[in-house]
Amino acid sequence: MKKIPLLIIILSLQIPFALAEDGYRLWLRYDCVDNNAVLSTYRKQIKGFKVEGNSPTLSLVRTELEQGLAGLLGINVPQSNSVSASIVVAGTSKSSEINKLNLDARLKNLGREGFLILTTTVKGKKLIVITAPEEIGVLYGTFHFLKLLQTHQPIENLDIESSPRINLRILNHWDNLDRTVERGYAGFSLWDWHKLPDYIDPRYHDYARANASIGINGTVVTNVNANARVLSSHYLEKVAALADVFRPYGIKIYLTARFSAPIELGGLKTADPIDETVQQWWKDKVKEIYTHIPDFGGFLVKANSEGQPGPQNYNRNHADGANMLADAVAPFNGIVMWRAFVYDDKVPDDRAKQAYSEFKPLDGTFRKNVLVQVKNGAIDFQPREPFHPLFGAMPDTPLMMEFQLTQEYTGFSTHLVYLANQFKECLDADTHAKGAGSTVAKVIDGSLDNHQLSGIAGVTNIGNDRNWTGHPFAQSNWYAFGRLAWDHQLSAQQIADEWIRMTFTNNPGFINPVKEIMDKSWETTISYMTPLGLHHIMGWSHHYGPAPWIKDKHRADWTSVYYHQASKDGVGFNRSATGSNAIAQYAEPVAKLFGSRDQCPEEFLLWFHHAGWNEKLKSGQTLWEELCRHYYGGAETVNSFQQQWATLEGKIDKERFEQVKMLLNIQYKEAIWWRNACVLYFQTFSGLPIPHGLEQPENSLQYYLNLEFPYAPGIRPQW
């Protein structure tokens, strides 16, 4: 009986499931290239591969090339023991074959994570070389090379140098030890603490692989609303097991430190950061952590915010608290990421000012291994916020960006919202801290103020749902965060193009309309949720759906009316010089721009100004008319997304097509809900009719006021 090659058997087994997609593979789909001309060219250019070295990381490189090339080329691509023509050679500059190429001059400036991909000729043999100063760079380069094949790029004359612009590229998991996820909309936590350390879910490896493929090099596995128990010996063994999985992928593990842990775990009577017994407790605990996890990254801390304990409980400041922990981890090259998202129990004149007020005076007082982690905006991950005034205001302190990938305020995992445009708007914003061109990106990558330590964090949208993120398109925000963390100069459109090709298809008949949907999606969401600078008008506590009427809670700044300040005269929070004067926290050119009613960009109008209902905007329409047209236009654009998506049936797998179709139906219904509820509510103040030509809401305002959602997903636990 004739033997059938194993690869053919494997491929034949896959054929019945070729169109059965559940999204688990994310953007790492190594299906055979479906363009015959491109496939034929690749097969001629790649006859084999060789990886020099057998370390855990280089073993991953070998496996990735073996699986990636076999899948994408649809044939067995053999490993070669020698260097022959048309093979891929991967290894560090120290490997024997690559060392012969004399690439040291090119590699020396790439840093420990950078890589070089080069088409070259050696003794008449044309080779594709993937190399780097360190092994992790070879892994990053391997993923990049396979991405070229996935996206049908030419590979005959490669010369690619790439290094990350930001040192620390970290995911923040708001995962609790009971596996619930605060603001999580994709199932429960990945981390099965009950079974760790002895059971290693294969998904841990797949998670690490996905992160390595986009250059993410760190993960904080526990919630910023921290539980001290994770620092106990029992849990450190579990954390160590995860760290062992992540290490070959270049990913360090970090933990959130509950400031009161010395009391809760250590039995001390105080957690005062200047108390010597407290300092010693942390030093001993850190030493214990490093015995379990030799490459432990350090701590992320939320302190004196939303009820979390911190140094202010003892009349100390944030630098006192951060420096105590920094001193404990410094001997092990650890870092402390101290969050600037703070507001106390006293309601300020403007919550947007508080972080600046508390941290600006501390500039230059933090230890050198401390980063202050700042949200992109001063309130709380709103659909759109002006950049946080702290960016550019603390030149003597490394500032770290915090973006939110999980869609707490942008429709959870039922709305298609591509957030790369939001990230780019913030990163490209000019702080004018040192003149024109002092962008937020230059602040956080350290180049503006010559900081060697730099970082960026993304609050994850990852859960144990089969497709990781709940919505298939929510995967794009994870991907986009990683790509921008590596290179913030990439455009949102370029990243979307990559992601669509890798995740779905290279068919331009699918790529172009989907890229258009993605590109419009963020602005569309703003239009039907919080147009013209409105903010924080979501549902109470769970933040699901519209609730601009929220008032009379135990904190004014946890209500909607605090932020929109609607009255018969108009709407909007006056942060100009005649109001809270929050504009004074920005550099003068920015303060002047935002503070001027006439010059303020209209997308931030109601963020900085209280405007009259009949005031004319640039369109020539009144504020009321423009507000209505944003709400109605946003909902109708979602309807156009539905129509565009319907035309794509048959261009991708049925499973994901149908899933997105159903989710767009939900999004459209909820966009109408947002539109109707907000227009009817604000109409009670404006007293003006809905503009001619726009349909009347089908329900009364009272109907929307009566809606309740006690089991909305992602609700924050009560402490």
Lookup: tokens for 290? 């490093």
Contacting residues for 577 by C-beta, under 8 A, at least 6 apart: 583, 584, 595
Classify 635 in phi/psi space as left (phi over 0), alpha (psi -120 to 50) or beta: alpha
Alpha helices in 687-719 (DSSP H): 701-705
Helix (H) or strand (E) holding 581: none
Is 516 a residue of the active site? no
Residues in the chain: 719
Inter-CA distances, 705 with 434, 561, 570, Å: 48, 14, 22
Contacting residues for 275 by C-beta, under 8 A, at least 6 apart: none
For 439, the 3-state DSSP assignment is strand
Q: Of these residues, 306, 363, 487, 516, which one is catalytic?
A: 306
**What is the C-alpha to C-alpha distance for residues 639 and 641, in angstroms, rounded to an integer?**
5
Is 113 a residue of the active site? no
The identity of residue 187, as a single letter, is G
> Cα-flanking dihedrals φ and ψ of residue 546, to 5°?
-80, 140
- Give Cα 645 to chain centroid, integer Å: 25
For 216, the 3-state DSSP assignment is coil
DSSP labels, 22-63: -STTTT---PPP--HHHHHHHHHH-SEEEE---SHHHHHHHH
Q: Of these residues, 408, 425, 625, 653, which one is catalytic?
A: 408
Q: Of these residues, 206, 295, 380, 487, which one is catalytic?
A: 380
Is the CB of residue 28 less than 8 Å from the CB of residue 209? yes
Is the CB of residue 185 less than 8 Å from the CB of residue 233? no
**What is the C-alpha to C-alpha distance for residues 70 and 79, in angstroms, rounded to an integer?**
11
Is the CB of residue 347 less than 8 Å from the CB of residue 298? no
Angle between helices 508-529 and 420-427 (to 10 degrees): 70
Is 408 a residue of the active site? yes
Annotated catalytic residues are 306, 380, 408
